[in-house]
Amino acid sequence: MRRRTVSGAGHMAAGRRPPRWHTPCVALTFDDLITRARSLPKDGRRAILGIAGSPGAGKSTLAGHLVRELNGTGRPWVAHVPMDGFHLADAELDRLGRRDRKGAPDTFDAAGYAALLRRLREEPYDDVVYAPGFERVLEQPLAGAVPVPPSARLVVTEGNYLLLDTGAWARVRPQLDEVWFCALDEEERLRRLIARHEEFGKSHEEAVAWVERSDRRNAELIAPTRERADLVVPESALPGASRPVEPAGRDAVR
């Protein structure tokens, strides 16, 4: 589908009518995101919302806020399934000679991730589906750590490569009802990323070196996928923020 832009209104050729998909720009808040996410499940069908973005951009933060707010204090109907559970184990990365690039696209089981998403979408919702988790202190995947109960009608999944269109990653996007892309000021993103590496055991020097060597390269690969997102969500969309969300992708208005 074509991207909608507000810039086209100011530069449209004389006498030419704007396309029907052109709509005014509307500022969005976190409450609007909640409303949008709540509306995704339809006709009794389970929906899957993807949240993409570069390392340290706030994907897990946004997913956590959404899941907690939507579930409230009632019976949980929203589940959180991180992509990070599909990291290959260090032993396998050593065998493949890829451990020094841990976090790159080919250090995940992308096909397995896509298969789980398809299972969550297509199988009858009679039984608990178990997804792998990721233990950040050990930096290892954990099998069967994330239960998705039959009551879950919305699954929020987040990770770096949801919009990548190469290899097995291309199988992921068709399983997602929408994908939102977290955008964050680059300096702030790097600061948070370094702090996170330090929190889980790296020295400051080791954290900086890893960010410069590995995370930055991955971020450069992820950044162009923003154009394929349904919505670009800045930090300001989180609770307590005041600036508007910037729509993009299939619902873009900019």
| DSSP calls for the chain | -PPP-SHHHHHPPTTPPPPTT--------HHHHHHHHHTS--TT--EEEEEEESTTSSHHHHHHHHHHHHHTTSS--EEE--GGGGBPPHHHHHHHT-GGGTTSGGGB-HHHHHHHHHHHHHS-TTS-EEEEEEETTTTEEEEEEEEE-TT--EEEEE-TTTT--SGGGGGTGGG-SEEEEEE--HHHHHHHHHHHHHHTT--HHHHHHHIIIIIHHHHHHHGGGGGG-SEEEEGGGSTT--SPPEE-GGG---
Residues 48, 154: Cα–Cα separation, whole Å: 6
Strands (E), 136-216: 140-148, 154-158, 178-183
Q: Tokens 């720009």 sit at which residue?
A: 25
Q: Which conformational region is residue 19 in: left (phi greater than 0), alpha (psi within -120 to 50 degrees), or beta?
A: beta
Length of the chain: 254
pLDDT tens for 93-104 read: 999 999 988 889
Q: Tokens 């409450």 sit at which residue?
A: 31
Res. 22: pLDDT tops 90: no
Q: Tokens 């873009």 sit at which residue?
A: 252
Which of residues 85 and 23 earns the better pLDDT score? 85
- What was the pLDDT predicted at 200? 67
Which of residues 4 and 62 earns the better pLDDT score? 62
pLDDT tens for 137-159 read: 778 899 999 999 999 999 999 99
Check: pTM over 0.85? Answer yes or no.
Answer: no
Amino acid at 33: L
Output the CATH code of domain 25-248.
3.40.50.300
Which of residues 83 and 203 earns the better pLDDT score? 83
The confidence band for 71, taking pLDDT boundaries of 50, 70 and 90, is very high
pLDDT tens for 103-132 read: 899 999 999 999 999 999 998 888 999 999
- What was the pLDDT predicted at 204? 78
pLDDT tens for 187-217 read: 666 677 777 767 666 787 776 766 666 677 8
The confidence band for 78, taking pLDDT boundaries of 50, 70 and 90, is very high
- Residue ranges per structural domain of the chain: 25-248
Strands (E), 26-166: 47-53, 78-80, 129-135, 140-148, 154-158
The confidence band for 27, taking pLDDT boundaries of 50, 70 and 90, is low
- What was the pLDDT predicted at 14? 37
